[in-house]
Structures are given as C-alpha cells and as structure tokens.
Amino acid sequence: MNRPRTTLLVTLTGRDRPGVTSRLFGVLARYPLTVVDIEQVVIRGRLVLGVLTSCDAPPDLTAIYHGVTGLATDLGLEAEITTGSAEPASAAPRGQLHVTVLGNPLRPEGVAAVAGRIAASGANIDRITRLASDPVTCIELDVSGAEPAQLRDALARVAADRGVDVAVQRGGLYRRAMRLIVMDVDSTLIQDEVIDVLAARAGCAAEVAKVTEATMRGDLDFAASLRERVALLAGLDTSVVDSVRAGLRLTPGARTLIRTLKRLGYKCGIVSGGFTAVIEPLATELGIDYVAANTLEVADGKLTGRVLDPVLDRDGKAEALRGFARAAGVPLSQTVAVGDGANDLGMIAAAGLGVAFNAKPVVQDAAEVALNVPYLDTVLYLLGISREAVQAADQAED
C-alpha cells in the first residue's frame, strides 16, 4: 500500500526582479524534494511565484522555512509556506477544458459570472492566462471536472447576460491539431455584402438589401433569393464589378489572422455566396489556399442577370469545406469554420470548431463559439495564440 507523500507549497509575492526563480530553486535544491508544479505570473511588475514540491519522508520544515524566508527578506518579497499530503493517484484525471473569455471591455462582473458558473457546475479553475489586452481583453481558464456540453450551455447564458464572449473547448492536444480554417467572406472576411454594393451601383439597393437580410436570417432559400437578386443586376457593366472589388474593406484583424495562420503552417480557405470575379483576386492578394464562390454570367462586357449553376448555398459551403479538407489532407475534426449567416450553418456544423462571427441569432445559437467583437483575429485566441506572440513574430520579420 502506497503512503501519502508530503507536499510543500512555497509562494513568493512582491515586486519582480531578475533572478528570483533561480535563487528560490537554489534554496530548495538543498533538500530531497521533487518538483510537482510551478506557476509564475507577473502583472504590472508584481510577481506571484508558486512552487509545489513533494517528498517521501517528512522534510526539515524548520530549515526550509528559514531558507525561504531569509531569501524573501533579502529580495524584498513575502513568502508563504504550506504543507499537506497527496494521496497516490488511483483514478483517471478529470477532463481538462479551455474556457476562453473575451470582452471589449472585459469587466469584473463578467469574469465573476463566468467563474461563479464554473464553480456551480462543480468544476475547478486550475490556471488563468491572459492572451490579449488590446483592443480586446482575452483570458483563458484551464478548467477541470466539468462536462463540456453542459458547461458550454451554462456559460452561453452567462455570455448573453453579461455581454462577454465565452468559448469552451476540449483541452490537451485537440486544439493544437487544428490545421485548416475556412471563412465566409461577406460580413466576415470583409465588412461589406458585395451584392448589396453592386445593387447600389445598379440603382436597386433597397430591394436587394431587404432580400439579403431575410436570407441571412434564414427566412428565404439562399439559391432562389440569390437568383432573384442577381436578376436585378442585369445590364451592369463588368467595370463596375472591378470597381467594387477595388473598394472592398477587410474586417479589422483579417490580414493579421491569415498572416499568422500561414506562418504557423495552417491552410486557409474562403467560401462565399458571392462571386468569383470579386473573391478570387482577394484570395490571391491574401495568400489564401482554397476558394469557392458563385460565378456571374457575363455577355458583351455586361452582367446578364444570371448566376451559373451550381449555386454555392448552405449545402455547397459544407461540401466546399469537405473538399478543402481532402485537398489539405486534414480530417474534418481538424478544421475551423467561421461565418455569420444562415447559409454558413452547414459548414459550421461540419467543422471541428464552428465559430459564429458577429452572426445572426440563428447562427450564434448553432455554433460552438460566438464572437461579437469587431476583430477577426480574435479567432487566434480560440486556438490558444496570444496577441503578444503574434506581435513578437511580426517584429521578428520586420
């Protein structure tokens, strides 16, 4: 029968300075201790350093206490030492989850509500890490002891009530395995709805915008509504399409997202209910690997008012995701789909991680994660990539 091991938790707090960690371990090295865990956080120059150790035989607590407190006094820090016991592990460890919390701004009541709901579920927050502080604040909580689906549902209600975005994902290697990201274009990769911009040039903006809005809510069949809207563009010169393409406005953070993902070896794809004449040049400019969109029929340099079959609708977007995954040699479980409208629901459901980005309510309800901040690169935080890491990589290439 294995006996419990004695544990010793040493915590130093105070103003940070070089050499604290090395000097603390120099003291602990004098005793027959085994390092179990280490946590260090520095916030605005204030250090919290915790070291959990264990040993088979009772340690010389008096000597350790004098050594650690003497070091703390020398460094101008405060020291705390607590002892306990650790039973030998007999049961499988509880599942680990990543809970990502974003706010613009992130307020204390939002964090309190998330933490309270996690505690109410019987789970524990093992670690908290900041991933970004500007222009949005993002923290990540490592949580153990929770059932993913139940916690996701509970935190979705907190997110709606408190005005924060919350994502719950499985921990471990699962998130690190993501290798392909596929995005919608209109109102996701770019700020515009291309067909609405074309309609404004054709003098039928109000009529087309009304149909577009109903379609994105899921009230109308996408293929039929697209044909109805494109018919109103008949006679528009293709030079207008070129002009619209030149004036597209990328969503803030889009370039950063794609640049960072490509740097990390991801494949990127875009799927759009819009048009190849607009989408393909944009994809080339951004270095996107895969493209699927609809094709406008042109005759004598003008739009005929027809879109060529097959129309890329909800099912077509999901199939495009599958095709991109096959081309990349990536299973669907390692894909991320990002979209905002009802015609994105198919690919969001098919992907390993479905993200609703500033989406219609029907999409937010269906997706695993809903982001409601205006920065597309916040998708990086869902992958555990911090803003500081992105900035450091950018500076290294300058």
pLDDT-wise least confident of 42-51, 285-294, 316-325: 42-51
- Does residue 89 register a pLDDT over 70? no
Is residue 322 within 8 Å of 350, Cβ to Cβ? Answer: yes
Residues paired with 299 in a beta bridge: 302
The domains spanning 5-86 and 96-175 adopt the same CATH topology? yes
CA angle 248, 253, 259 (to 5 degrees): 95
- Does residue 92 register a pLDDT over 60? no
Type of residue found at 396: A
Is residue 251 within 8 Å of 270, Cβ to Cβ? Answer: no
Pure H helices in the chain: 20-28, 61-75, 108-120, 148-162, 194-202, 205-217, 222-231, 238-246, 254-263, 276-286, 314-328, 345-350, 361-366, 379-382, 387-397
- Does residue 7 register a pLDDT over 50? yes
d(CA 287, CA 289): 6
Residue 293 CA to chain centroid, in angstroms? 25
Q: Mean pLDDT, to the nearest integer, of 148-167? A: 91
Superfamily of domain covering 5-86: ACT domain (3.30.70.260)
Type of residue found at 63: A
Q: What is 92-133 written as a DSSP string? A: PPPPEEEEEEEETTPPHHHHHHHHHHHHHTT-EEEEEEEEE-
Residue ranges of domains in the chain: 5-86, 96-175, 181-367
The answer, yes or no, to whether the previous bond of 135 is cis (omega within 30 of 0) is: yes
d(CA 302, CA 297): 9
Mean pLDDT of all residues belonging to the chain: 90
Would you place residue 42 in the very low, low, confident or very high pLDDT band (cuts 50, 70, 90)? confident
Domain 181-367, classified CATH 3.40.47.10, yes or no: no
Half-sphere exposure of 251 (CA within 13 A, CB side): 26
Q: Which residues are catalytic?
A: 184, 186
* Fold classification of 96-175 (topology level): Alpha-Beta Plaits (3.30.70)
pTM of the model: 0.83
Would you place residue 171 in the very low, low, confident or very high pLDDT band (cuts 50, 70, 90)? confident
